Structure 1
């Protein structure tokens, strides 16, 4: 739209527009402005996108998958930053502050920049005869995309929120898609089998564009959809792979090798799988975004990501992990096995009611001696009575060395766990992002 016409629209419909002076006020408004929090479909958001004239003049990576998306985005960002590119990254959800969802050149975006772009989206959606209703996620996704599109950025990384085909980030055609893993989660929106979920996730693939799959055992439907679409599918084990020992690892792609690489700074058994998918994506895009072996080494050494098998210093050991589905819980269990010996393991756990809670707990039931179940400040959360029912269904039995207690919040749960644990014990905080975020806030308060 010509700038003058857009300005006219803004003023013509100003009386219908919401406007707020703070980011918190905007977010509070958006949480209640749309009656349904999740609506699958791109028709409404595409109307506003077109009015905004939203396009990216730079390469775009879109990252989907059940687990590992955040780690993959973080490693890709770190390597590209080490290469000297100006990078925009959009991820969700956040842990402590909404601003975490948008980073430019490695820095979280400040409130003022976000407010400007919220107002641009509000003006656009209100310029129709009937204002377009957008969910919280759709509105904020558009605002951050608009920020990136109007900033001097060399490359954009977009993390899918839910699924792929009908997710808000899919309004942008990607130059390289990455699918990290495929497992059963969000069944009410995506289907209840890996095969059905794979079809939804391949919705981010594009004709003739690289499509990297880091899942070692991809459903046949993923391969079939990539072929049907005409995407350039890169499969782990066929088109790229990794080999390593305890000291270093090597990447082997279609036509490129990277040898003697240090392990990523992110902990966890699956991080080499994620890192190899990142290197495959960079190999596929090497003609437009060249990176050197040294850039890769620097990026992998410097990458940081909160709440993904994050071990905090001190005694007892605190382990933070946003594992909230059975696949992620199985990986967390493996990672806990790889740690040193602890006399007792305590767990703070809170989760959304729509998750496979029994499946999550089943993966960790033999790892944990003392459970601190917590309520979360959201209606979607499972209450602690339900959590205990799931815990017992997963096989938990109380005795002299095994206990379960109920707590009003993650902060209360971890406070009690710290009092009851020995200095050589460990406390694992996992489940919903809200569980981990509550403990992070508590830790910050304790250290001030």
Structure 2
């Protein structure tokens, strides 16, 4: 099998939609020889900040001399971003080999219970990390936690970044319901570290930890003023990133008996960690400076606007906004119009994209005098902001991925892998169940 054939096969798996449950990934892992039983994990869940916390954790462990696997989603441009060892993407050859190796196992599943794209890729990652003899794997959930395919592992620590409203169709309509799904990654006796602030969500996490005998570490605002954060500057800007860094440092310390890490490695790891698509500053030729940020829900957009005020005080940039149709468009727009000098609404490269015309209407309702316009594409919007000093591309990580591809001059190539992020087939009902 060639790499292009493997990617086409993975595209075909999107038809099986997004399903919740552990039966398929457990069975696939068993067919693969249970690689998860020979690996050590730090499992990261939460609404926002998961990727950044994973980046901090990965860099700390690498600074300490460990061989570190990193599993995250979605990818921005290339599929290989999802599976990395020491921040090196999995090779095309290994992707092709692993996809081919899984084919006989996949044929053992009945058609109406076929594994999804995410389930297949999760077990591929486990196989690869075992082959690569990783000392530790930083393991990000896809959605939720309790019934997420990544939840077949028993980690050294469970991390819950925070709880906000997102994916309510699947995770629940209250913070307590969402927290219950996220807290589903907790395992008996395994430490849990969280920076969750919302009382009703934190109550659920506390109760779950107590019932499972999990040592619980809850970080408050004082964590960002503790050493070494009191003396270092992060590459990732914003007050929220300092909390993400504090969460990573606390997690490393919580499992230090199993994975020893010195304070110098923690400090160097925090100071050197980077993560694309999170307040990433780039320039498009001779045009404006661009800030790329995948703020895809109300909580993330609030954080982006606060960081803009912190990093670019007094500036009202042009916002190039593309959002998924199932998001809280009114809530996102209400935050955007408070910071924007103008808004250009664009489609996201996904079947689930909100119509730019609908987004224009929502933004105009929130700020009738603000200049708001629809564009047929991100490229068109970028052309229209050439006279601006600063433009912000935001609303979806998929849109950020498209921007990065344009900046790299790769858009329109024969190998478009961004579409792998979007399922196109049947979608399972909500993961929330009576308790």
TM-score (norm 1): 0.86
1:180-259 to 2 correspondences below 5 Å: 180-218=161-199, 219=201, 220-237=203-220, 241-244=222-225, 250-251=226-227, 258=228
- Write the distance in 1 (CA, Å) between the matches of 2:6 and 2:259: 36
Greater alpha carbon shift after TM alignment, 169-178 vs 82-91: 169-178
Q: In the alignment, is the contact (CA less than 8 A) between 1:346 and 1:372 conserved in 2? A: yes
1:434 aligns with 2:406: no
Q: 2:384 aligns with which of 394, 399, 416?
A: 416
Relative contact order, CA 8 A, sep 6+: which one is greater?
Answer: 2
Q: 1:280 aligns with which of 242, 250, 263?
A: 250
- 1:289 corresponds in structure 2 to 259
Greater alpha carbon shift after TM alignment, 271-280 vs 79-88: 271-280
Shift of 1:438: 1.6
- Write the distance in 2 (CA, Å) between the matches of 1:152 and 1:65: 27
- Write the distance in 2 (CA, Å) between the matches of 1:64 and 1:332: 20
Shift of 1:168: 0.8
Structure 1, unmatched stretches of 5+, are 1-19, 245-249, 252-257
- Write the distance in 2 (CA, Å) between the matches of 1:292 and 1:232: 22
Structure 2, unmatched stretches of 5+, are 412-435
Shift of 1:112: 0.8
Aligned-residue RMSD, C-alpha: 2.1
TM-score (norm 2): 0.88
Shift of 1:31: 3.0
1:109 aligns with 2:87: no
Give the 3 Å change call, closer, same or farther, for CA 90–446 of structure 1 in structure 2: closer
Q: 1:359 aligns with which of 327, 331, 343?
A: 331
- 1:100 corresponds in structure 2 to 81
Shift of 1:303: 0.9
- Write the distance in 1 (CA, Å) between the matches of 2:107 and 2:143: 26
1:151-170 to 2 correspondences below 5 Å: 151-170=132-151
1:62 aligns with 2:76: no
Give the 3 Å change call, closer, same or farther, for CA 66–146 of structure 1 in structure 2: same
Residue deviations 1:304-334 (CA, integer Å, cap 9, x gap): 1111011225863211100010000000110
Q: In the alignment, is the contact (CA less than 8 A) between 1:347 and 1:429 conserved in 2? A: yes
Q: Which has the larger radius of gyration?
A: 1
- 1:269 corresponds in structure 2 to 239
- Write the distance in 1 (CA, Å) between the matches of 2:123 and 2:382: 36
Shift of 1:404: 1.8
Bigger strand share: 1
- 2:317 corresponds in structure 1 to 345
Task: Determine helix, strand or coil for the equivalent of 1:375.
Answer: coil
